[in-house]
Chain A
Amino acid sequence: MTKKFSLVEFSTHRPKLVLMLAGLITLLFFTQFPKIRTDTNPKHMLPETSDVRVWNDRVDKDFALYEDTIVVGVENDVGVLNQETLARIARITDAILALPGVASRDVNGFTTITNVTAEEGTLKVGPLMPAAPKSDADVAALKKALFGNPLFLDRVISKDGKTTAIYVPLEKGANGAEIADKIREIVAREKGPERYYIAGDPVARDTFGAEMFKLMAIFSPIAGGIMFAAIQFMFRNLALSAAMMGVSMVAIIWSMGLLIGVGLPVHIMSSMAPVFLMAIATDSIHIFNEFYFRYREHGDKLAAIRETMAAVSRPVRFTALATAAGFAVLLFMNIIPVKVFGGLIAFGTVVLRLLSFSFIPAVLTFVREDKLAGAAEDAAQDRVARLLGRMAAFGAGRPGLTVAIAAALVAVSVWGTSKIHVNNNLVAWFKAGSEIRVADTAMNRALGGTSLGYVVVESKDADFMKRPEAMRWIEGLQHHLEKLPVVGKTFSVADYVKRINRVLHDDDAKYDVVPDTHDTIGQYLFLFSMSAKPADLDNVVDQGFTKANVWVQMKTWDADAMREVIAATEAYHKANPLPAIVKPAGSAYFNLVWNEEVLGDMVRGLSLALVVVLAILALDFRSLKWALVAYMPLLLTILLIYGVIGITGKDFDMPLSVLSTLSLGMAVDFAIHFVSRFRSRRADAPDGETVEQSLAWTAARPGKGIMRNAILFAAAFSVMMAAPLTPYVAVGAFIVSMMLLSALLTLVLLPALVMLGRRWLVDEPLSTAAPATSH
């Protein structure tokens, strides 16, 4: 007789071997951990060949721009224009210039930024403050130069004179975190009343990376610890609690080990994988839950294990399948980190399922019977189980009301969803009191803005930008953009031309305009280039003067701000035709694009996953009707979450889009357990048990597993709400509400739906739908 190999049988017979094997494989994956690389550069979210990266790289090249710039803010409440502060600024700038990795030639601060002035008939193009002023007269002269030149205002000096900035571009491949640390050391050496702020893209990115690590290393284990305590409280058996945690740890180690082992870096998204896997691992609580009930009924441990596995195997298998398939769909998306994330969770889910049928039964064989006796459960005597039963009874007893409430919630959610506002703000990922936010807020208040975008004007004709009409067009665009509240400062080649025109004419404000002829513009720019730093012109016009680059500094990192700039630019171009292509670029533009792409990918992936999950449900239940019923908690959970986001006005951003996929792993699980167990109960229920009674039983028994699962998780992940990064706080808050919501929907709404569709659902023959459990 050929008996099919049963993993459960094997594991209960050779438990030690199974545990040893699991340990060994885990160790193998664990050896990969030291190779871990993190990549927190949002740029790498999109492949190098993506349009936006190719375009931004070209813009960087055409205009000799740097990818990364650290901004050092210096603030003094009595103003920075005094000898002491200026001496400090000079010393600090000098020390920064000597740092390896800093593109010293293009550092812009008081001592290095190019100034164009006319003194006693002599045109002067050179550094604004070559050395710290030695007298008050020198300081006064500097003040006059600063406030007399619009190129400096809001860039290196605030209108109130209390804040200045040093712009520190980095060479390609330089380590921004290291340089930022060294700058912190440099400013710490200065003892004075000044406050210093270190800001900019590389700082935010590297800080985020460091915090991400902290979260993975500290918060995930704390969450795990709380979960452990909660399980211990529920089952009062150390071996079981350890097994439960062991399963999730093993799955996390295998998955992360695989990710690291194949050489992929840990991204912002994949860093959330351990949390996700822990959530999905709690599914095995159903095994313990059922085991305790079974053991209570029979008192035979091995038999209880076998029966438990037989009873829950189908739902456990299908929840794993649904979850894995849901996440695997993400593999077919475009964004690499989205794919990696999907693959990672799908792999982990499969590992979890494998462990459910081997590791867990093996551990159960070691549980001492005397320890079990006290803790084993009886649904009838259990207060929690009774309460859950009553909840289901409410749904079943007043199905019309329940469904009506649900329908009302759906209506509100759909309305809320329509109000969803897609936005993202990298700096807002840090909490309000964090160094980065403080620096960013201070700099944005004082100066033109820390978020930088470009508007590139491209023509086909050489020297096009020297034409007065092109210059005036750019000047007009700047005026137009500066009317936007989010735009703090713009500058372009037109500013240099106007400046030179004015300076050559004895600083007469009348000449602060674009001159009338091409030749004049050409000669002014040539004159400027005779003494300025090459980068001064290179940053705003290309070599052949066919393209110009308008710098747009924004006071917020909201992706919306760049969106407004683009819309305003398009409107201006439409109203003022120019034979040129006008395109946005820069890091602010990139942030807008990658967020939209990642978000789009996640939403598309989720929609597709929802279809796949429905198909799997139909396959599981061999019934589309049941699949639709079991689908409702998932659909409603997602709708409600989106609805709440829309109604509360919280921006729908990348972390939230990632998070909403977690519902794939949770809500559907609950429903599968509920429906599967309900149907098998119907198949072998005691004669005369009504549908309501069966529903109450399901809610009381497997329902307790569902509730345990939900509470367990809500408790553990409430810790995340104390995380230093807002995406993780959102993860914490939403896991908590999502768990409770989907449990509630499953336990109340499902019975109501079953009652309403009773004739349609229950009275059909169940023969092939659910195989009877072995009794």
Chain B
Amino acid sequence: MKRVLIALLAGLLPLTALALSGEEVMKKSQAAFLYPGKDFKARVVMKLVTKDGQERVREMTMLRKNIGEAGGEQKYFMYFFQPADVKDMTFMTYKYPAKDDDRWMFIPAINMVKRIAAQDKRSSFVGSDFTYEDVSGRDIEDDAHTIEREDKVGGADCYVVKSTPKAGDADFGYKLTWVSKANFLPLKEEQYDRKGAQYKLFTADEIKDVKGFPTVMRRTMKNVQTGHHTEVSYTKADYDLGLEDSLFSERFLRQPPRKWIE
């Protein structure tokens, strides 16, 4: 009897010793999902689909450059192709950990660059079901993370991490993230509202290796309460292109170099 118990404990021992905490899993996940490479470029097609199938399309080129380590500062640059009347609009974000982002927008019709306040990271990104946080990440320190259980998503082993906001400012009560054990990409995420009802569902629909980095090429965010969903696909994606820091400036907001946005 005792021996069986010891054997059981012994069997468990290596596992517990190697096990990651919820916070570590989320840190690794953030690094794999939002920080791979020194920089990144993608051509993005975003489809906003209503409950009864009406579509709106946004098309853009997205550039990202990491300034420091994973979890550190980043700069984003977006150039819009679609809808037609917003062509040449550009959008730039300096993302800082534990501090409000800086955002700028160029409005070509009136030839104006305007700073945009980033008071609400939980607001919708260009009218889609993704919030700014869903796109560029939420500070790990804002939530308490625990591994709830382990599960499989489409055959891949996952940690299921429950993240609960420490302060009450978030519009969600908690979220569950299915993080792949193999590449630490989030394969699925369920967001629950403050009443405990599920309201958003994220799924990573297609993953491809690009220059050795597993990259989510297609993803969907669905608002299960309204039935509205947004599909995002990368038609082109590349890493480590050597984006200069000077690209992320007001001058290039007005006139982005062709080679970077095409």
Nearest CB of A to B57, in Å: 10
- A-contact bits for B93-115, CB 8 A (1 contact / 0 none): 00000000000010111101011
Complex Cα distance, B237 from A635, in Å, reads 84
B172 vs chain A, min Cβ distance (A): 11
Across the two chains, which residue of chain B brings its CB closest to A64?
A: B226
Question: Which of B80, B85, B123 meets A519, CB within 8 Å?
Answer: B85
- In the bound complex, how far is the Cα of B121 from the Cα of A127, in angstroms? 12
User: Could you say which residues of chain B place their CB within 8 Å of the CB of A533?
Assistant: 123-124
- Contact among A125, A527, A534 with B107 in the assembled complex (CB-CB below 8 Å): A527
Question: CB distance A534 to B124 under 8 Å?
Answer: yes
Looking at the assembled complex, report how far the CB atom of B90 sits from the nearest CB atom of chain A, in whole angstroms.
Answer: 11
| Interfacial chain B residues near A105, Cβ < 8 Å | 171, 199, 225-226
Q: Could you tell me if A544 and B109 are in contact, using CB atoms closer than 8 angstroms?
A: no
* B117 on interface, CB distance cutoff 8 Å: yes
Whole-angstrom distance between the alpha carbons of A504 and B105 in the complex?
A: 11
Give the segment of A96-104, A292-300, A364-372 that binds chain B.
A96-104
**Is A122's CB under 8 angstroms from B107's CB?**
no
Residue A130 is within 8 A (CB to CB) of chain B in the complex: yes
Chain A, interface residues (CB within 8 Å), range: 35 or more
- Write out the residue numbers on chain B whose beta carbons fall within 8 Å of the beta carbon of A463: 83-85
List residues of chain B with CB within 8 A of the CB of A524.
107
Asked whether, in the complex, the Cβ of B54 is within 8 Å of the Cβ of A526, the reply is no
Interchain CB contact under 8 A, B124 and A526: no
Pick the contact of A126 from B51, B110, B119 — CB < 8 Å? Answer: B119
A519-B228 CB under 8 A given contacts A504-B114, A531-B116? no
Given A523-B108, A529-B126: A124 and B55 interface contact (C-beta under 8 Å): no
B127 touching A523, Cβ below 8 Å? no
CA of A521 to CA of B110, assembled, Å: 10
Within 8 A of B (CB), among A165-191: 171
Residues of chain A within 8 A (CB-CB) of B54 are: 542-544
Interface residues of A in 93-151 (CB under 8 A from B): 97-100, 103-105, 119, 121-127, 130
Residue of A nearest to B89 (CB): A523
Which chain B residue has the least Cβ–Cβ distance from A530? Answer: B126
Q: Are B108 and A121 in contact (CB under 8 A)?
A: no
Does A195 have its Cβ within 8 Å of any Cβ on chain B? no
* Residue in contact with B105 in the complex, picked from A119, A171, A527, CB distance below 8 Å: A527
The answer to whether the Cβ of A537 comes within 8 Å of any Cβ in the partner chain is yes
Contacts of B195 in A (CB 8 A): 98-100, 104
By the criterion CB–CB under 8 Å, are B124 and A523 in contact?
A: no
Shortest CB-to-CB span from B58 to chain A, Å, is 9
Query: In the complex, which residues of chain B have a beta carbon less than 8 angstroms from the beta carbon of A504?
Result: 107, 110, 112, 114
**A528, closest chain B residue (CB):** B127
- Supposing A121-B115, A123-B116, A123-B117 touch, asked if A529 and B124 sit within 8 A by C-beta, the answer is yes
Bound complex: CA A524 to CA B83 (Å): 13
For residue A32, CB closer than 8 A to chain B, the reply is no
Q: Which residues of A contact B117 (CB under 8 A)?
A: 119, 122-126
A690 at the interface (CB under 8 A from B): no
Point out the residues of chain B lying under 8 angstroms from A125, CB to CB.
Answer: 116-117, 123
Q: In this assembly, does B52 line the interface, its C-beta being within 8 Å of a C-beta of chain A? A: yes
Q: Are B123 and A531 in contact (CB under 8 A)?
A: yes
Residues of B within 8 A of A123 (CB): 105, 114-117
Query: Is B21 engaged at the interface, CB distance under 8 Å to the other chain?
Result: no
CB neighbours of A530 from chain B (8 A)? 91, 105, 116, 125-127
Report the Cα distance A123→B103, complex, angstroms.
Answer: 10
Q: Is the CB of B124 within 8 A of A124?
A: no
Residues of A within 8 A of B (CB): 61, 64, 97-100, 103-105, 119, 121-127, 130, 171, 463, 466, 504, 515, 517-524, 526-527, 529-534, 537, 542-544
26 intermolecular pairs with C-beta atoms under 8 Å apart: A61-B52, A98-B194, A99-B195, A100-B195, A100-B197, A105-B199, A119-B117, A124-B119, A125-B117, A125-B123, A126-B117, A126-B119, A127-B120, A463-B83, A463-B84, A504-B107, A523-B89, A527-B105, A527-B107, A529-B126, A530-B91, A530-B125, A530-B126, A533-B123, A534-B124, A543-B48
Contacts from B to A (Cβ < 8 Å): 48, 50-52, 54-56, 80, 83-86, 89, 91, 105, 107-110, 112, 114-117, 119-120, 123-127, 171, 193-195, 197, 199, 225-226, 228
